[in-house]
């Protein structure tokens, strides 16, 4: 039986807001009509930054890179090295394919990099430079030729740490633009910004809605909502560790769900006490505390099977497992954005440095998709070729009849003309090909 020691005080929602949709639609329309002029007006209004050209020059980029400390650069490069190495390892699992499915019939697929990618790096509330590693680097490992990136200014000027991260990750163009104006400019293009084929990266509700509305004319990584964390734990860990990990993700925003599923009442009560204590000393307690009050949840289960079922139902963005048998959950969990196994790791490692990507599905989207990875920037494209006249005629005979079953005479003729040429058969126009003697013999020997 499942009991709740704490329920969310705010009603669950999909975080969709019609007012946000209307606002974003209007802003996108302004940029479609006004181009660079509209982008500048919106940048002044929302970012507080007025420039004739929002693309940073080489000297500006160099100044940002040179302004960071040696330790900051070393830490940044360490994180990027981990992200790059894991993306490369993922890429190595993606094999191209060519197979002869029938004598003389060759089918295959290739992984073709997307030509251009626009990466958004949030930076209004916090300068989230890690998003540069996760998007720009991953697209570069995939082989994308042009990777551009936008981030809002921080306190009225391009954020040095973000710019340094964007540059070190390999960005080809860097823009000091935030919000809808950044996303729309990359997607639809302006006089000075060539549009991209795919948008990637997290953002606030307005950025997320802009990506949703633009999806179709461009590709996106995924639909993203507020950050989420789910901890599955038993009495092998203590309340301080669990509380720290819950609040560490709750500080992302006041609408960030933080959930504990446990079979230990002692751990549940200990966690509640520790959250109260930590909220008195955490510098970001105003945000984390409101998130916990509104969207925090503790569920007490009797068995690990119940814990598993509830975790799969929640389908959280981040699922942290700290139990006596973490591998059992690894082998049985189905719905999660990223999994963090054991007390030695934590969501913050994945967010910032360990190498797995932090752009992940939210709002239960983990039921049907994983997160951003190198494969998101690759198109798996198939091809076919036929090497012999006999193979073309054989496939053509079947294709002719199948097309006529559907009433597609023009399709049938594409097959028929090849049966006439390569099979040397006299086929009436726009009719189904009768089985040949060779085909009948093949059917008999199957």
Which residues have a catalytic role annotated?
317-318
Complete DSSP assignment for 143-185: T-SEEEEE---BTTB--HHHHHHHHHHT-SEEE---HHHHHHH
Cα torsion for 344, 350, 351, 352, to the nearest 10°? 80
Helices in 8-154 by DSSP H: which ranges? 18-42, 58-67, 70-92, 130-132, 138-142
CA-based nearest residue to 46, from 225, 216, 184? 184
Q: Considering Cα of 84, then 90, then 92, then 96, what sign does the dihedral take? A: negative
Token duo for residue 160: 């040095």
CB 123 within 8 A of CB 154: yes
Give the number of other CB atoms < 10 A from CB of residue 249.
27
Considering just the CA atoms, what is the radius of gyration of the chain in Å? 27
Question: 129 vs 152, 186, 221, 410, CA distance in Å?
Answer: 11, 19, 18, 55
- Residue 60: Cβ-neighbour burial (10 angstroms; 0-12, 13-18, 19+): middle
Cα–Cα distance, 253 to 51 (Å, whole number): 30
Helices in 156-261 by DSSP H: which ranges? 160-169, 179-188, 205-214, 239-250
Host H or E run for residue 233: strand 229-233
CA-based nearest residue to 208, from 14, 445, 419, 369? 14
CB 325 within 8 A of CB 334: no
- Fill in the DSSP letter of residue 280: T
| 3-state SS, residue 220 | strand
Cα–Cα distance, 228 to 316 (Å, whole number): 6
Residue 348 sits at φ, ψ, to 5 deg, of: -60, -35
Cα–Cα distance, 250 to 12 (Å, whole number): 16
CA triplet 45, 255, 135: central angle to 5 degrees?
A: 65
């Amino acid at each position: 039986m499942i009991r709740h020691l704490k329920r969310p005080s705010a009603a669950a929602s999909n975080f969709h807001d019609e007012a946000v949709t209307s606002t974003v639609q209007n802003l996108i329309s302004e940029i479609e009509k006004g181009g660079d002029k509209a982008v500048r007006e919106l940048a002044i209004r929302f970012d507080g930054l007025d420039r004739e050209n929002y693309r940073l020059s080489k000297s500006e980029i160099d100044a940002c890179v040179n302004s960071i400390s040696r330790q900051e650069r070393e830490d940044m490069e360490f994180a990027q090295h981990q992200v790059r190495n894991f993306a490369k390892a993922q890429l190595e699992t993606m094999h191209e394919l060519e197979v002869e499915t029938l004598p003389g019939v060759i089918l295959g697929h290739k992984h073709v990099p997307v030509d251009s990618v626009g990466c958004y790096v949030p930076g209004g509330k916090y300068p989230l430079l890690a998003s540069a590693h996760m998007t720009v680097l991953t697209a570069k490992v995939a082989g994308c030729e042009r990777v551009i990136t936008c981030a809002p200014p921080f306190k009225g000027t391009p954020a040095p740490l973000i710019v340094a991260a964007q540059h070190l990750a390999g960005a080809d163009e860097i823009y000091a633009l935030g919000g809808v104006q950044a996303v729309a400019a990359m997607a639809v293009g302006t006089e000075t910004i060539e549009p991209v084929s795919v948008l990637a990266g997290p953002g606030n509700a307005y950025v997320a809605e802009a990506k949703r509305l633009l999806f179709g004319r461009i590709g996106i990584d995924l639909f993203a909502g507020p950050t989420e964390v789910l901890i599955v734990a038993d009495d092998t860990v203590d309340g301080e560790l669990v509380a720290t990990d819950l609040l560490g993700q709750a500080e992302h925003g006041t609408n960030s769900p933080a959930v504990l599923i446990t079979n230990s009442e002692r751990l549940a009560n200990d966690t509640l006490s520790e959250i109260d204590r930590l909220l008195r000393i955490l510098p970001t307690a105003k945000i984390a505390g409101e998130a916990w009050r509104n969207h925090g949840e503790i569920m007490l289960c009797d068995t690990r099977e119940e814990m598993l079922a509830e975790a799969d139902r929640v389908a959280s963005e981040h699922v942290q497992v700290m139990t006596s048998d973490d591998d059992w959950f690894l082998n049985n969990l189905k719905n999660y954005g990223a999994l963090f196994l054991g007390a030695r790791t934590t969501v913050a490692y994945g967010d910032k440095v360990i190498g797995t990507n932090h752009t992940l599905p939210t709002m239960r989207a983990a039921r049907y998709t994983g997160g951003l990875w190198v494969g998101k920037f690759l198109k798996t494209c198939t091809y076919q070729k036929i090497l012999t006249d006999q193979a073309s005629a054989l496939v053509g005979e079947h294709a002719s009849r199948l097309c006529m079953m559907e009433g597609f005479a023009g399709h049938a003729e594409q097959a028929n003309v090849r049966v006439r040429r390569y099979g040397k058969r006299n086929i009436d126009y726009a009719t189904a090909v009768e089985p040949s003697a060779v085909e009948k013999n093949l059917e008999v020997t199957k």
